[in-house]
Structure 1
Amino acid sequence: MYITSGTALYHYTRSGTPVKKLYEASGVQYCAVNRSGDKIFVTNSRSELLTLSRDGTILSIFTDRQLQSPTAIHVTEQGQVLVCGKNTIMQVDSEGKKKITALAIPNVNNPLSMCSFGKCVIVGSSNILVLKIE
């Protein structure tokens, strides 16, 4: 398990035992792990998406003017990296280096959670938005 604290990213065992602090910086917010577990995607308060290796080494830092105040992040079963920002969902390549597409979501302000189920992505804030993906 990986848990963010606002200032760091921590690795824990499934039973809740701390393993180690992987990354430390102010504004660490949300994280998601790819299916193989070799990449950890982290958002921060500087509107960046960081891609870290399993040991916490920074592999890439992604920024884009459309990605403002990134919050929820999710890696789908198909390996799609999705990041929610203020009124936007962005798909980033599996390396976390470039934008694939962005979708405006004007009725969902500051989404806090995201998950996928089959061919749907569910985004939650004060509203719930269900998107069909291909």
Structure 2
Amino acid sequence: MVNLICFAVWRCAVSRTGDKLYIINKLNNKLITLARDGKILAIYTEPNLTVPVCVHVTPAGQVLVCGHLSGTIIQVGCEGRKRLATLAKVRGGPESVCYNSTTNSIIVGQCEENNILVFRVK
């Protein structure tokens, strides 16, 4: 098992198939992807994703990450190696993100604005 203390785990999510663990390290602006056995598969960083605070895996296996200071919501490939899309750019400190498959929408909670934003996905 890998020593997770060095990663300063903030939030985590499990892949739909259960073979990957996605870990947010907000202190170092990283998304770390681990295999089930603890092996590091990928470490993702991006200048446009500062202070990542939430990671969510959709029912389809898409990985969503929100950056608090950058105000970005991005989709990262399931391998955790690259950004596939910037889904939204919002003000007011996005703090949480999730996908609702019933309404086909991305829901973003904002800490500083005390709001919940809903984006319909086409």
Instruction: Give the TM-score, by structure 1 length.
Output: 0.77
Checking the alignment, whether the CA contact within 8 Å between 2:20 and 2:35 is kept in structure 1 is yes
For 1:120, the equivalent position in structure 2 comes to: 105
For 2:5, the equivalent position in structure 1 comes to: 24
- Between the aligned residues of both structures, percent identity stands at 43
For 1:46, the equivalent position in structure 2 comes to: 28
What is the letter of the counterpart of residue 43 of structure 1? I
Task: State the distance in 1 between where 2:19 and 2:37 align.
Answer: 9
What is the letter of the counterpart of residue 8 of structure 2? G
**What is the count of residue pairs matched by the alignment?**
114
Structure 1 residue 23 displacement after superposition? 2.5
**Structure 1 gap ranges (5+):** 1-19
- Establish whether residue 63 from structure 1 lines up as the match of residue 48 from structure 2: no
- Establish whether residue 84 from structure 1 lines up as the match of residue 69 from structure 2: no
Give the secondary structure class of the aligned counterpart of 1:91.
strand
For 2:91, which of 107, 118, 124 is the aligned residue? 107
**Change over 3 Å in CA distance of 1:130–1:102 after alignment to 2:** same
Higher strand share: 1
Deviation per CA, 1:2-22, whole angstroms, max 9, x where unpaired? xxxxxxxxxxxxxxxxxx886
Task: State the distance in 2 between where 1:32 and 1:99 align.
Answer: 17
Q: Where has structure 1 moved over 4 Å in runs of 4 or more?
A: none
**Structure 2 gap ranges (5+):** none
C-alpha RMSD over aligned residues: 1.8
Instruction: Give the TM-score, by structure 2 length.
Output: 0.83
Deviation per CA, 1:74-129, whole angstroms, max 9, x where unpaired? 01011110000021001100100001111443234141x22221111211132101
Deviation per CA, 1:48-73, whole angstroms, max 9, x where unpaired? 00000112211100011111000011
For 2:55, which of 55, 62, 73 is the aligned residue? 73
Larger RCO (alpha carbons 8 Å, 6+ apart): 2
For 1:132, the equivalent position in structure 2 comes to: 120
